[in-house]
Structures are given as structure tokens and as C-alpha cells.
A and B are shown apart, each in its own frame.
Chain A
Amino acid sequence: MDQSSATASHGGAIGMHGIKKWFGNFQAVNDVSLEIRSNEFFTLLGPSGCGKTTLLRMIAGFEMPSEGSIRLDGAEIAHLLPNQRPVNTVFQNYALFPHLTVSDNIGFGLKMLGKPKAEIDAVVAEMLKLVHLEARGNNLVTQLSGGQQQRVALARALAPRPKVLLLDEPLSALDLKLRKSMQIELKRLQAETGITFVFVTHDQEEALTMSDRIAVMSQGQVRQVGAPWEIYDRPAERFVADFIGETNFLDVDVVDVGADRARVRLPSGAEIPATFPAGTQPSGKVTIVIRPEHARATASTAVTPLSGTIHDIVYLGTDTHLHVRLADGSSFMIRLQNARSGPCGYSVGEEVGIEISDDVAQILRD
């Protein structure tokens, strides 16, 4: 373990293969294999009960996998106890020691490792600086605000210079403004320390903002792994598309398949190009997704691939959502960015055409 400075150390890489975890009859994790790269900000994203926290707890050592292997930089760690792994956790409720001061909390890990006092003091001072709590070292943690406790929890987990930092929904207890600033803070700390971060959240926006890569999980399985833009723009299946952001689903027929694009026929008869997940060969009836901000409303309905009647207009400050009833009765959402020029100009009951650019539709795996 490198103890010298806060800057640039080598984060650990984690390889998980065939991980299964049973709690009695309930299977929390079902055959998960993941490669988390060194120095990466990796996010496990999914609804509650999807197994993401169980996976994190297995990396930390609080749970043992029922099957499968966990490797840290190539070495098997699945059988090691939590205090034998160079991995530290930021807990959801922070789990700060209420009987210790801020400094003693931060220095706890180093003290347990038997480091000399001078070194502990130096690292604690450095950590206090890193999380902007220089003046709070001698306070009890119970005297701090939620956001400050959050930063102490971070400093405490970073102080022993782990190879991997695990974060279990650490921002969920903070209010929106603080959460936003902590997101940026976390990103900065990850870049400054070079430690691999594994972040668990159910908040898709948080995941998109911070992550280098995201694994979307559902029912104990990883549904898709990719960079935020891939997860958002190229969802591989319905669950992923639905969980990340708002979206429109359309049932279409595949007309023609090329190397990386297919042509699909919409219910209206119009044909548009669509991308599809790598390794699949779409055919027959498939579902495509089109994000609401990738469609435009036009007054003329003649040349657009889709058209319908506006049945709802929702004003959201930055955007306005138009909900359009299509010919087959389904609803299609269009997101308009608001200018500072009053209402959006459409009204309920109005007929509109829906323009779809060439490179916005994505075919889903079944």
C-alpha cells in the first residue's frame, strides 16, 4: 500500500466471475461476471433489491459469495475477511464512530494497521484538508452536519489508501443541492487519489453524472455494462432503457439489416434507420426506443414518420413535455427545451407531426 501522498496511486482492478449469492431460498445475485478496471469510477446501478449492495458487500468481505470468484489485481480475495482486504467502504449511513472525534475517526484504519502516530497524524491532516474539514478535527462527529459527516466518512475510508473504495449509496441522505456538489466532489477525489471507486446507487442521474462506466442491474443480474452515453443512447434491453431516463417504446418491423444499422418500419408505414446492440441480429418484430429529446414536433404532419394529437403538456422549468397520442392509441413524449419566450406555442388537442433524426432509434434485445 502506498502511504506517501494523496496524489496518483494505482487503483486496484476487480474481476468477478460467476458470482452467485443465496440468502436461504432467495437468490440475491445470479451469475454476475464483471471486470472493473484500475482507476475507474464504476457504478452499480439498479432498483432496490437488484443485488447491487450485496455485490458491493461481497467485494468488501461482509458477505461471502455462494459461488464464483472475486479477484483483486489478479489475486483471489473472496475468502478473505474484511480486515484483510485493501478495500474500504463508505457506508450509506456513514457508520461513523460516535465516541470518537473527527480526527480519530479518520485515523482509525491506520491505527488498526499499527502505523506510527506521526504518520497517522500526517495522513489525518492531509485527509482533513482533502475534504475541507481542517477546522473540525477535534469535533465529535455527532456535532457535524450531514454533509460534513459524509465527508468524514469519505476521509476515513480514504485514509488507509485502499486499492478500491466502495461507496454504498453515500449521497442518498443528503438534500438535492448538497448531493449535486458532493457528486462533483467525489469525482474530484477519485481523480486526485487515483483509487478505483465502486459506487452503488439507484439514482440514474447520479450514475450518469459521475461514472466512467455503469453496470445496470436487475433481479440479481447485470443487464448491461457501458459508458454513461452507451447506457443512455444505446440501451440493450427494455429494462435498461426504461430505468435510465424517460423514453418512448415503439413496436416496429425489421426491414433490412446492415453492418451496424438496420432499417425498421414504423406502424405508420414510414421507415427509419436504427442501431442495434452488438452481437445481435435483429429480425421480425422488435421494439425500438427513441429518447423524448431526440424527436421534434412540427406543425405539418405530411412528411413526418409519425403524427398524432397532443393530449398533455407538462411544463418543467428547463423543458416542456408534449405527450402526443399516436394513431395506434399509444402515447409518445417529446421534450422541448424552453426558451425564455413564454409558453411553448402548442396547445392540447393540436395535431402535430413528429420528426425523428436519422441516428436516434435503438433496437432492443428481446
Chain B
Amino acid sequence: MSVDAAELNEKLHRKDIRDRWFLSAPALILIGVASVGPLLIVLLYSFLAPGNYGDVKWAFSTDGWFNVFFSRDIFDDTVSLADAHFTIFWRSIRLALATTVLCLIFGFPTAYFIATRAPQNRSIWLFLITIPFWTNMLIRAFAIQEVIRSEGLINTILIKLGIIQAPIQMLFTDFAILLGMTYVHLPLMVLPLYASLEKLDFRLIEAAYDLYASRFNVLMKVIVPLVKPGIIAGSILVFIPALSSYVIPRVLGGGKNLMIGNLIELQFGQGRNWPLGAALSVTLVVIVLFAMLYYVRNAGKNGGSAHG
């Protein structure tokens, strides 16, 4: 009898584990269909030849990848590095990093403010933070355009007040892109920061003041180390979409200030070079992957040393 019982137990245990796999199947299927699958298709396309009117020819070709890094002169076939691409990649990374830093600078006080409100009022503030999400990003980008263009709100007011004579060129500059990206991505920084700050024991701040810490040291030696998980999460959530921004640089950067997203779009649209577009997309994924690995490892290392 007892042997039977043990056997039954064992069987039930195994069945339990199988059931759990079964329960996670929807997530696995979703990841497979929506994430891994498309990525593999993009990878496949990057090794095919471009079709005449877009699309691809089913023939193996490394031209797509070649064109990511090099450009061939159309007259004498000399090969040189694709400076334009490197420039765009580099400015994309720069702008995405700057956006992340700006979101952190503006997002931290915001999250701190919300986390220090009375508990019953916090959800109202969080709700207010999410309001911009209700409107399409394209419309918000055009709204910013309206504010900063030469005949826009800011320039008109400044000229009326006599502070400036001629309008300041803000639209179609890196400043405009940065402004737009910071505005759009700010909630993605505030929410994880808030989640961390909300768990922070504010008595630790009192303890630090009691032990002669200045305001700056309270922030740097106590608050920042303790909300590090939120800072990491927020930075990742902002950096990745910022790096692959498409709408904001298109609307606020004009045609000249391209980012990776616009470059990729160009290859799939006017450029009719899908393999190059696919190769650029994969390159972007690889950049993000390495940036994240580097960032998380470093952040973890610092945390580790602080933990002795």
C-alpha cells in the first residue's frame, strides 16, 4: 500500500510539473510567434538579394551586410567605409544616451515627489503621469512642433516680449529631437523609479541626516544606492525605444537629422533595399544587446562592491 502511495505521489508531482509547463505555453507561443520568429525572418532577409521593386529575391547574398559597413562608389566601384551609416548610428546612440540622462534628471525628482505624497494621493499623481499615453505619439510630436517652430508659441511670446528680435531655430535640430524624446519617454523612467522609491524606508534618510550627511550625500550615499534597481530598469526602458525612435526624429528632426529608425525605414521604403534594411535592423538589435549586457553587468558590479 505504502509503495503505491509513494508511486502515486511521484506521479502526481511529475504531472504537476508538466502542468506548469503547459500553463506557461501561451507565453512561450507568444514570444515565439511575436518575437523570435520575426527576428529570424529579418535575419534571413538580411542574407538575400534585393528585389527590383522592394521585397527580396530568393538568392543568397551578403550585399545587405556589406552595405551596412561599406559603400561602393557608383562610378569607379571603389570601396570605402559607410561613413553616413556610422554617423547615424553614433548620433542615435548619443541622442538615446542623452535622452536617458535627461529622463533620469527630470524623472527622479518627479518620482520622488510622488513617492513622498500621502499614500491615498499617490495614485492620482501616477494617473496624471500616464495621461500623455492617451494621445498618439504622432499627434504629440506635432504638438511639440507647434510649440517650438519659428512662428510657434515660444518664439512668438519671446518676440512679443522683446527678449529676442528674430525667431530662434529650434525645430529640426538635435535639441528638438532631444526635447521630444525626453517628453515621450519620461513616464517610462518615472514609473520604475517610483516603484523603487515607494519601497524606500524614509527613516534611513533621517538616519543619514542624523549622522551628519549633507543633502547631497543623503542622495548619493543612501537614496541612489537603494533605488538602483529602479534606475537600471528605467534607463533600460528609456534607452531601448529611444535608440530606435522613428516618429520623433522624423517629425521634429526634419529630413536631415536621421536616426537608425529613419535609416531602416528609408531602406524598406524609398531605398527599396530590404536586405540592407534587415541587416541594419539586426545591427540595431546587436547594439542594444551589447549595450544592455555592458550596462547591467557594470551596474551589478557596482552594486556588488557596495554589498562587500
Contacts and interface: CB of A to CB of B under 8 A. Distances in A.
A113 B212 contact: yes
Given A98-B226, A100-B306, A138-B308, A112 B203 contact: no
A239 interface: no
B214 A83 contact: yes
A99 B307 contact: yes
Interface string A52-87: 000000001110000000000000000001110001
B211 interface: yes
A93 B212 contact: no
B306 A95 contact: no
A60 B210 contact: yes
Contacts of B292: none
B206 interface: yes
A156 B211 contact: yes
Interface string B202-216: 011011111111100
Given A140-B307, A140-B308, A99 B210 contact: no
Given A89-B207, A97-B207, A138-B308, A83 B225 contact: no
Contacts of B306: 99-100
A97 B222 contact: yes
Interface in B130-181: none
Contacts, number: 70
A91 B207 contact: yes
B307 A91 contact: no
A108 interface: yes
What's the interface size class on A, roughly? 20 to 34
B225 A109 contact: no
B226 A99 contact: yes
Dominant secondary structure of chain B at its interface with chain A:
helix
Interface residues of B, number: 20
A108 B211 contact: yes
B22 to A, nearest CB: 38
Contacts of B207: 89, 91, 95-97
B201 A95 contact: yes
A113 B211 CA distance: 8
B217 interface: yes
A88 interface: yes
Interface string B278-308: 0000000000000000000000000000111
A101 B210 contact: no
A160 interface: yes
A83 B308 contact: no
Contacts of A97: 204, 207-208, 222
A91 B211 CA distance: 12
Interface of A: 60-62, 81-83, 87-89, 91, 93, 95-101, 104, 108-109, 112-113, 138-140, 156-157, 160
28 contacts: A61-B210, A62-B210, A81-B209, A82-B209, A83-B209, A83-B212, A83-B213, A88-B211, A89-B206, A89-B207, A93-B201, A96-B207, A97-B204, A97-B208, A98-B204, A99-B226, A101-B308, A108-B208, A112-B208, A112-B211, A112-B212, A112-B217, A112-B221, A113-B212, A138-B308, A140-B307, A156-B211, A157-B211
Interface of B: 201, 203-204, 206-214, 217, 221-222, 225-226, 306-308
